[in-house]
Amino acid sequence: MGRLFGTDGVRGLANRDITAELALDLSVAAARVLAEEGEFAGHRPTAVVGRDPRASGEFLAAATVAGLASAGVDVFDAGVLPTPAIAFLTAASGADLGAMLSASHNAMPDNGIKFFSRGGHKLPDATEDAIEQHLRGEWTRPTGAVVGRIKPYDEGAQRYIAHLLGAIPHRLEGLHVVLDCAHGAASEVAPEAFRQAGAQVTVIGAEPDGLNINDGYGSTHLERLREAVPAAGADFGLAFDGDADRCLAVDGTGAEVDGDQIMAILAIDLHERGELAGDTLVATVMSNEGLLRAMQREGIDVRRTDVGDRYVLEEMRRSGFSLGGEQSGHVIMLEHGTTGDGVLTGLMLAARVASTGKSMTDLAACMTRLPQCLVNVPGVDKHAVDAHPVVQSAVSDEQAQLAGLGRVLLRKSGTEPVVRVMVEAPTAEHARQVADRLAQVVARELALAPA
């Protein structure tokens, strides 16, 4: 059996992989491990629990709350809120841990659970491993007055919005913004935050019914936002994913502004204000080469990490950097949060538009993307990709043929059973040809045996 925790918590098909029993057991194990590590020493422990609007989140959150309370933890149930809101509230309330029920950008049938330690930080691998080891183990259950109590955290949303508004350096009066909330966790707080910041707001994808999260809306489906922005005559649009830890944008014409461009805009903004720690941006190996070239022109260094916002965050915390993120729209601003925050990212982006008077189109032009192609190869042994001689030989051959004018990257997904083939080349057609050739090699050489 492989490791239960992936790069972003535990995730899978709700009520089959991610069951109520598993959520309860994980919560009990998390409480026990943190207690043994001394996190609860000398006081009665507390936790903040939230979820996105998925139907399965209702019973999974109930199981998580029950598990924590049964382990002697007092629980503040925040209901439906973005993942970064739960991280913030865990820190702001002084809670000992937080728990979020969400599968982020995944389709509705999936769900997941992630934990935050005191301060709103994601758990290190060693703690997650210890939690797995404690699953369904023997333990002495608290009784009587020592069992945890459960209270609603009704003020959580407004406390989070106030935090967001306190972070932006400029009001948004005069801006018209379209927000696509993916029928997800940002459906109420994002429009409210932008309105309180002074923007005129048009909202799409903000009618969650438990079944429609990420369904044709949000950061993985920009088509409707591309249409809605020009139709509304808005200045630009922002799209969040299901748990609102990601943000992508479109300009006034409906053209996409991806995570690399967003990071470039924000890095330049912070750099000009003298607030970019170390004059360095932290990005993953998936970020476009055009981002590196743009930052070099601005006198900003780029530190690259493995794929995954947790690795970006680890590098930021280790080296004292303040801005990092991923091409997918995860952007971390450590001065204001401990994790990627899509709503905060969108507000900061809007504040840059408002303060400069420039259009989103003009701001995004600070970098030119090298044509990039990404192909996902399913049905393969993703764990063998890094060491397979035929696959690696094919990668070396293609990289040599690009002769410094592009690059090739193969990596296994941390959340899905696929190998991702990424190619950058001088033209989109060239990138596609190289990616298709490599995808064929991966599919042939790493094919799983029939069940």
Binding site members for Mg(2+): 104, 241, 243, 245
Those residues with Cβ within 8 angstroms of residue 418's Cβ, 6 or more apart along the chain or in another chain: 376, 377, 378, 380, 382, 412
Determine which helix (DSSP H) or strand (DSSP E) holds 411, and give its type and residue range: strand 407-412
Burial 361-397 (b: 16+ CB within 10 A, else e): eebbebbebbbbbebebeebbbeebeebeebeebbee
3-state secondary structure at position 149: coil
Q: Which residues are catalytic?
A: 104
Estimate the crossing angle of helix 156-167 against helix 189-196, to 10 degrees: 40
CA 293, 342, 212, 217: dihedral to nearest 10 degrees?
-40
Residue with tokens 């790069």: 7
Secondary structure of 285-320 as H, E, C letters: CCCCHHHHHHHHHCCCEEEEECCCHHHHHHHHHHHC
Q: Pull the structure tokens for residue 437.
A: 């050739």
Annotated binding site: 104, 241, 243, 245
β-sheet with 372-378: strand ranges across: 372-378, 418-424, 407-412
